[in-house]
Structure 1
Amino acid sequence: MSARRAIVVTGADLAQQALDLLHDFEIVYAGKTPQEDDLVALCKRHDPVAIIVRYGKVGVAIMDAAPSLRVISKHGSGTDTIDKDAAKARGIEVRAAVGANAAAVAEQALALLLACAKSIVHLNERMHAGHWDKATHKSVELHGRTMGLVGLGAIGLRFARMCDAMGMKVIGFDPFAQNVPGFIRVVDLATIWRESDAISLHCPLTPENRNMINAQTLASCKRGVILVNTARGGLIDEAALLQAVRSGQVASAGLDSFAVEPMPAPHPIHGEPNIVLSPHIGGVTGDAYVNMGVGAAQNVLAVLQAAHA
């Protein structure tokens, strides 16, 4: 074991700017697709004081394999892959790099919204096949339509400003939101479903909101609603969404996250023309990679320095 304290990264790399902050530590990489057994073995071997979570889950077995562990730091904003109750019981702090990827994810949400409203993917395929559908195609104009946001954190608020700039009416639900801008009308979830022409999810996944988008909530939406999800796949009952898209209750959906990742193939959604897919890359940009790495490193240092104060 190295004389330097170790930090395990559940990934294959970390931004150089983050590594510069962590120069006093031994950095141990778990690889691109770390499994629990791999992480347990690494923790037993290196007894890390911190884990930076990029991929995979961190549960009880991993925590118990690292008796010196003081902080689990998420390389991003969503901590649903970390067993927070187990961490709390062991005196291990869980931190997230909140807002580090907000710009990137909000831009992806906008891209998916526009792709759905303007039939970008379908028209691109038709054009490449030699068709010219100008006489038969009508896109959706978003100006004047109502955008319903579930979650008004750093990402949701940034996306809300984009929608406001396009002339959309913005309504939002978030029981924890503070200092909400005046152009967002704060409402309850029932109002989101009832009034929205498009809905975008920007909330963490919790046991309470798992499958919040289901057959019942979709049925209570306007017919022809657009749905965008750049948050967590578990927020949506994918079978119910597929049925709603096929029936026309949901006009189209843009999804960047899924109940199971990587998305298994074949999958019932594959080939559905009115669902636009991207492989959970909303937060994956060069800038966000640096911001998330630096944020995760700063959170590690803050906890460890406080422990030694």
Structure 2
Amino acid sequence: MSAKKPVFIVTGADLATQALALLGDYEVVYAGKTPTEDDLIALCRQHDPVAIIVRYGKVNGAVMDAAPSLKVISKHGSGTDTIDKAAAAQRGIQVKAAVGANAAAVAEHALALLLACAKSVVQLDERMHAGHWDKATHKSLELAGRTVGLVGLGAIGLRFARMAHAMDMRVIGFDPYARDLPDYVQSVDLETIWRESDAISLHCPLTADNAKLLNARTLAQCKPGVIVVNTARGGLIDEGALLEAVRSGQVRSAGLDSFAVEPMTAPHPFHGEKRITLSPHIGGVTSDAYVNMGVAAAQNALAMLAS
């Protein structure tokens, strides 16, 4: 009788075939698309995994305590705010993110949201489908020569910076951990980001220190008519303050892919606001990124288990 394989739990309903091919020595157990804390605790008690690959849901100390053999928590993506890293450290559990695996996908989506805001793509599409022809009355915003301020200069932020630079935008950025920046990215403090940016794009992780980084005070410091793009984490923005700034015109428009509470439920204050373009935290969800993140998450977990 063969020995039972050690278990990987995936907090999702699937994993890329290429990632599964790397995990042949393990049993892979799926938690489903919307696993609750109770779901994860029950699965951990049942299977006692050596590793968890985190796609959806949160992994906290209670989940970890239900898996005494757990050694690794590997994120299927770049953001680890859904993992209690302090609890993991206390228990000697390693945490690793698939940094850069979805950089192209998220940076492209951020650019798409920026362009949608500047060019009124969604609004003009709706008007055209309603039979209107607004050529004589509508003017979009030209981005060439304008300044984009990036908060976060990791793999995604730098990828976005390269695209913005190619569009002849001036790129300024804030990231206390960034080193060896390309010459077209000017490192500045946050006050300069607020003061000089015509558009602001968020690319940093969510921490206790930067929660609601964009709020009534910081939005008031921005140029009137600034564009706000967020493909990072919803908690970086005070949503009530942003809505007020959009309605007052202090913010020209916003393109948002992440929100304080996900999934967003109806009704939401952003619904019906024509100058807020919404997408369901899907910036990193492409067929290529799905494979890249799955493979990286599996490789990271295997490397940590072998160390």
Structure 2: 5+ residue runs without aligned partners?
none
Letter in 1 for 2:202: L
1:171 corresponds to: 172
| Aligned-pair CA distance for 1:264 | 1.6
> What RMSD, in angstroms, separates the aligned Cα atoms of the two structures?
0.9
Counterpart of 1:44? 45
d(CA) in 2 for partners of 1:200 and 1:62? 34
Residues 212-227 of structure 1 aligned to structure 2 (within 5 Å): 212-227=213-228
Match of 2:276 in 1: 275
Separation of aligned partners in 1, 2:232 and 2:174: 15
What residue is the counterpart of 1:244 in the other structure? 245
Aligned counterparts of 1:110 and 1:148: Cα–Cα separation in 2? 13
Number of the residue aligned with 1:302: 303
Tell me by how many angstroms 1:78 deviates.
Answer: 0.1
Secondary structure of 1:107's counterpart equals helix
Q: How does 1:1-309 map to 2 (within 5 A)?
A: 3-306=4-307
Separation in 2 of the partners of 1:148 and 1:167? 14
Count of residues paired in the alignment: 306
Structure 1 residue 215, shift from structure 2 partner: 0.2
3-state SS of 1:160 partner: helix
Q: Secondary structure at the match of 1:276?
A: strand
TM-fit CA distance, 1:184? 0.6
Using the alignment, how far apart are the partners of 1:76 and 1:168 within structure 2? 28
| Partner Cα separation in structure 2 for residue 287 and residue 190 of structure 1 | 36
- The alignment's TM-score, normalised by the length of structure 2, stands at 0.99
Q: Alpha-carbon deviations, 1:114-140, whole Å to 9, x = none?
A: 000000000000000000000000000
Cα distance in 2 for partners of 1:16, 1:150 equals 34
Q: In structure 2, what residue type is equivalent to 1:134? A: K
Q: Deviations over 1:79-112 (max 9, x none)?
A: 0000000000000000000000000000000000
Give the fraction of aligned pairs with identical amino acids, expressed as a percent: 77
Question: How far apart are 1:178 and its partner, in Å?
Answer: 1.1
- Partners in 2 of 1:67 and 1:265 — Cα distance? 39
Q: Give the match's secondary structure for 2:21.
A: helix
- 1 CA distance for matches of 2:179 and 2:9? 35
